Chain A
Amino acid sequence: MESILDQAKKVAEEAEVFMISSEETPVQFEANRLKHIQSKQSCGVALRIIKQGKIGYAATTELSDSQSLVNMAVETAQFGMPAKFELPSPASYPQIEAYDPNVESVSIEQMIGLGEEMITTVRGHTPDIICEAGVTRAVIFVRIINSRGGQANYRKSVFGLGIVGSLIRDTDMLFVGESQSSCHPLLEPKTVAEVVLQQLELAKNRASVPNQTLPVIFTPNGVASALVPPLMTAFNGKTVLEGASPIGNRLGQPVFDEKLWLWDDPTIAYRPESRPCDDEGIPSQRTPLIKGGTVANFLYDLQTAALAHTQSTGNGSRNRGGLPTPSPSAFIIIPGKTSFDEMVQDMKEGLVIEQLMGAEQGNILGGDFSGNVLLGYKVESGKIVGRVKNTMVSGNVYQVLKQITAIGSDAKWVGGFLQTPHLYCPSLSVASK
């Protein structure tokens, strides 16, 4: 890495070398049976240079040929964006725990056992269900060095458990599932399987839905599939800079219900999205995005922050190994006081939405969402009476989050990138066939 930096410094004013290596071991079950055991070892290097004020970029997995890498970066720099930022000088980083050596010592036999237990538990409840399951352990190492002497490195461990079940009766299909991840080994497969059992219980009966507006409870999964994608786009500093975010000029103003608090937080110990610094070597910080309904901040990397005349929030991320761009780490919605049962009891007639399909179609910038309820339940007189099918819901995330009836007391992690409680909203447009 140092030799790449040295070579690059000879031909460019500034240079930064980013290296990521990882070793991942997924154990996969298909159709209820163990099918695949894999080991994925990867290592790659990315070089960003600033030459005559412009950004050049190249990446490779071929570590022995650093001269080609430098040449490619120089070639692209002729056409690159003018650099408006300075690479970070040496900095002190927060102590953020994201590595547990115990992850590496979980044996393949143990991982197989964990997968089998999830499947056995789910099939014990519903024998004709077909399950796919995965148990994964991974270790990731990141190192960044730059021509201003800045340097950072960290190690991270990730362990994941997941199961998806499909139940097909004639041409009726039901999909259920749950996944959990942590930087610690997850050795309690029952906690994953039990979520699926609860979904199967609630989906046992079918219920019909009228074409009208109804109150809706979004479960944590429902919040993730319907409401969070437009918010992630709207709080992205790049969207704001382009003038495309509907909340871009509402900083400090009340836009959401006053009960709503949202943070971007890469500092929580032993969470897979946590790290001491972002992919540009900027120290991690907790950033409040919504404070009691008021828009508090947007997320920035170095270049976008410079263009917007503000500071990086430590959200520079290299998706798919490209140039850094602003990206959320983990979204945290602060829990409220109402339990899920209390929400259901409060409903005369309404829906519980667990999974919305196709919600990201349509005008995501404007906050519109519209989707088919892949997994959802009907509530009548304070009780869940069954699963709904062939039902479309549509709404606008800014209208939905402007007036929230209640926020759940039970925050839960979804997909590693979101921690959220249930959200209970007064009305949503529902169409059913």
Chain B
Amino acid sequence: MPHIELIGRQLAEAVKGYSADYIEAHLEENQTSYITYRGRELESIGRTTDIGGNVRALVAGGWGFVSFNDLSELPSKVELAVMQAQFASNEKSQLAEVEPVVDIVPTKIDKNPVAMPLAEKKQLLDEYNDIIWHTPKLQTSIISYGDSHKKVIFANSSGSYIEQERADITLRLKAVATEGSEVQQVGLSIGSRGDFKAIANLHRQVELMSQHAVELLSAPQVKGGEYTVVLDPVLAGVFIHEAFGHLSESDYVYENEGLRQIMTLGKKFGSSQLNIVDSAAIPGLRGSYKYDDEGVPATKTYLIREGRLVGRLHSRETAAKMKEKPTGNARAINYGYPPIVRMTNTYIEPGVASFEDIIGDIKAGIYAKNWYGGTTSMEMFTFSAGEAYMIRNGKLAEALRPVVLTGNVFVTLKNIDAIGNDLEMNQGGGCGKGGQVPLPVSNGSPHIRIRHCLIGGR
């Protein structure tokens, strides 16, 4: 591999001295390995290396962007980005002020997961696959493992120069059970910031997952309608990310008058016990970093505090246009894309209720766990829980077929009336937006209770 630090220094010089309001460049070196299984057999195993970069220029409100694998003739790439930005210019440029930074941020892991022997990774996956296949009535399994190690260099025309490294691991397992024409599946999704140990001792969880898939074959389907629903930390975390978090991304809001009115700071969104945070500044989570892809330091941002909207996520441009402070939330999945406003680690802060308190006074309700799938269109959401149980007279009762929750996010937030004391962060997710998927994020929550939640059924 060429020394990208050397090319990084050249690029840091190349972005200076143009008649543009702002220019930045990224250079990236990425290594990955992956192993997938479909059924008993290994399906694919591979390794990749990737080197590339980009230049982004701002001229009078218009952006130009050039991405490339060929690292020669860098000045001509800067010129092209500036020329494109000139074409797109049509107003005054606005970027929130940020102090230039020079810094080098190494990974804080003991060993690079990509460099570990493939045999060691495969051994662990074989163990998990054996557990799934030893479960009676299991039809098939799907396993997908991936790791990466990445170095990104950032330089801009204001003199910032930042090198950051990160490692990432994801593991997804799925067990599919069948009986006659019935098919049921349960999944498990785990991730870490490059620490292989985080995925190394899941044998018991894999066993429970497989057994649950079999249990579902004989589980009843709940009748559709309105219920009191308790969400576990995984599902509540995904709910808060998908249904609310995306509305906090200012690039949706800043030029959209209708949405600006809905998302007015100070407006009441939930009860006074509801606090929602996004923070890349917590160390060691999959959404954590020291600087975002515009070189802005990470912050902890309260989105909702005591039930009121108090903040939102910004890039330098959206912060300036909304006259708010930058939050360091501009991220790009790789050098092929410009940074856009993204979440990092998003969570509901813990309250005081125990799980027993939360379900204690529910006569007939639903406990929905785990995440299966879902989408939102701003106000409306539909989510599938991976597991569901009836709650009867304050106690967990029979297992149900996975349920679909649907509703209006604003109504649903107001209907959260109990928040547990047991915050857990889920590291298995990946976020998609504007074609940039899957971006490493984490989300979390304690157990929460929602009144009058619409559950789909047949």
Q: A37 with B85: in contact, given A392-B456, A433-B454 (CB under 8 Å)?
A: yes
The answer on a CB contact under 8 Å between A58 and B46 is yes
CA of A400 to CA of B91, assembled, Å: 52
The answer on a CB contact under 8 Å between A38 and B48 is no
- Does A428 make an interface contact (CB < 8 A)? no
> Which residue of chain B has its CB nearest to the CB of A72?
B47
CA of A68 to CA of B176, assembled, Å: 38
CA of A130 to CA of B255, assembled, Å: 9
- Does A357 make an interface contact (CB < 8 A)? yes
The answer on a CB contact under 8 Å between B258 and A169 is yes
The answer on a CB contact under 8 Å between A33 and B41 is no
CA of A19 to CA of B46, assembled, Å: 17
The answer on a CB contact under 8 Å between B377 and A173 is yes
* The residue from A41, A55, A64, A365 contacting B67, defined by CB atoms under 8 A apart: A41
The answer on a CB contact under 8 Å between B65 and A36 is yes
Q: Give the shortest distance, in Å, between A160 (CB) and chain B (any CB).
A: 13
Which of A96-104, A369-377, A419-427 participates in binding chain B? Answer: A369-377
The answer on a CB contact under 8 Å between A41 and B70 is yes
B206-247 vs A, Cβ < 8 Å mask (1 yes, 0 no): 000000000000000000100000000000000000000000
Which of A74-82, A139-147, A344-352 participates in binding chain B? Answer: A74-82
The answer on a CB contact under 8 Å between B88 and A75 is no
CA of A73 to CA of B46, assembled, Å: 7
Is chain B's binding surface mostly helix, strand, loop or mixed?
A: strand
The answer on a CB contact under 8 Å between A42 and B262 is no
Contacts of B48 in A (CB 8 A): 58-60, 72, 321
- Does A358 make an interface contact (CB < 8 A)? yes
Q: A33 with B258: in contact, given A38-B65, A357-B377, A371-B382 (CB under 8 Å)?
A: no
The answer on a CB contact under 8 Å between A62 and B90 is no
8 Å CB interface, B330-383 against A: 336, 338, 372-375, 377-380, 382
8 Å CB interface, A44-93 against B: 44, 55-65, 68-69, 72-73, 75-76, 78-81
Q: A242 with B1: in contact, given A38-B66, A81-B43, A362-B404 (CB under 8 Å)?
A: no
Q: Give the shortest distance, in Å, between B259 (CB) and chain A (any CB).
A: 6
CA of A392 to CA of B404, assembled, Å: 11
The answer on a CB contact under 8 Å between B64 and A38 is yes
The answer on a CB contact under 8 Å between A80 and B87 is no
Q: Give the shortest distance, in Å, between B152 (CB) and chain A (any CB).
A: 15
- Does A112 make an interface contact (CB < 8 A)? yes
> Which residue of chain A has its CB nearest to the CB of B176?
A244
The answer on a CB contact under 8 Å between B382 and A361 is yes
- Does B9 make an interface contact (CB < 8 A)? no
- Does A339 make an interface contact (CB < 8 A)? no
> Which residue of chain B has its CB nearest to the CB of A358?
B382
CA of A431 to CA of B454, assembled, Å: 11
The answer on a CB contact under 8 Å between B47 and A58 is yes
The answer on a CB contact under 8 Å between A36 and B456 is no
The answer on a CB contact under 8 Å between A242 and B39 is yes
The answer on a CB contact under 8 Å between A108 and B84 is yes
The answer on a CB contact under 8 Å between A362 and B88 is no
* The residue from B81, B262, B375, B456 contacting A357, defined by CB atoms under 8 A apart: B375
Q: Give the shortest distance, in Å, between A229 (CB) and chain B (any CB).
A: 12
The answer on a CB contact under 8 Å between B62 and A244 is no
Contacts of A370 in B (CB 8 A): 404, 456
The answer on a CB contact under 8 Å between B406 and A68 is no
The answer on a CB contact under 8 Å between A62 and B382 is no
- Does A399 make an interface contact (CB < 8 A)? no
The answer on a CB contact under 8 Å between B70 and A40 is no
The answer on a CB contact under 8 Å between A42 and B46 is no
- Does B130 make an interface contact (CB < 8 A)? no
A6-44 vs B, Cβ < 8 Å mask (1 yes, 0 no): 000000000000000000000000110111111111111
Q: A41 with B68: in contact, given A59-B48, A68-B49, A112-B87 (CB under 8 Å)?
A: yes
CA of A260 to CA of B382, assembled, Å: 31
Q: Give the shortest distance, in Å, between B407 (CB) and chain A (any CB).
A: 8
- Does B302 make an interface contact (CB < 8 A)? no
Contacts of A72 in B (CB 8 A): 47-49
> Which residue of chain B has its CB nearest to the CB of A172?
B379
- Does B51 make an interface contact (CB < 8 A)? yes
> Which residue of chain A has its CB nearest to the CB of B122?
A79
CA of A238 to CA of B69, assembled, Å: 33
The answer on a CB contact under 8 Å between B80 and A361 is no
CA of A44 to CA of B336, assembled, Å: 13
- Does A252 make an interface contact (CB < 8 A)? no
- Does A394 make an interface contact (CB < 8 A)? yes
The answer on a CB contact under 8 Å between A61 and B52 is yes
The answer on a CB contact under 8 Å between A65 and B255 is no
- Does A171 make an interface contact (CB < 8 A)? yes
CA of A357 to CA of B242, assembled, Å: 14
The answer on a CB contact under 8 Å between B118 and A75 is yes
- Does A323 make an interface contact (CB < 8 A)? yes
> Which residue of chain A has its CB nearest to the CB of B254?
A31
The answer on a CB contact under 8 Å between B39 and A38 is no
Contacts of A168 in B (CB 8 A): 256-259, 262
- Does B140 make an interface contact (CB < 8 A)? yes
Q: Show the binding face of A for B, using Cβ within 8 Å.
A: 30-31, 33-44, 55-65, 68-69, 72-73, 75-76, 78-81, 108-109, 112, 130, 166-169, 171, 173, 175, 238, 242-244, 321-323, 357-358, 360-363, 365-366, 370-372, 374, 390, 392, 394, 429, 431, 433
Pairs A–B under 8 Å by Cβ, sample size 11? A36-B62, A36-B64, A61-B52, A76-B47, A130-B255, A130-B256, A358-B373, A358-B375, A361-B384, A371-B382, A394-B456
| Other A-B pairs beyond A41-B69, A62-B1, A167-B258, 7, CB < 8 Å | A36-B88, A36-B338, A41-B68, A57-B46, A60-B48, A171-B408, A392-B456
Q: Show the binding face of B for A, using Cβ within 8 Å.
A: 1-2, 35, 38-39, 41-52, 62-70, 80-81, 84-85, 87-88, 90-91, 118-119, 122, 139-140, 176, 181, 183, 224, 255-259, 262, 336, 338, 372-375, 377-380, 382, 384, 404, 406, 408, 410, 454, 456, 458
Which 9 residue pairs across A and B have the least CB separation, nearest first?
A: A168-B258, A31-B255, A37-B84, A358-B382, A72-B47, A57-B46, A38-B65, A361-B373, A61-B69
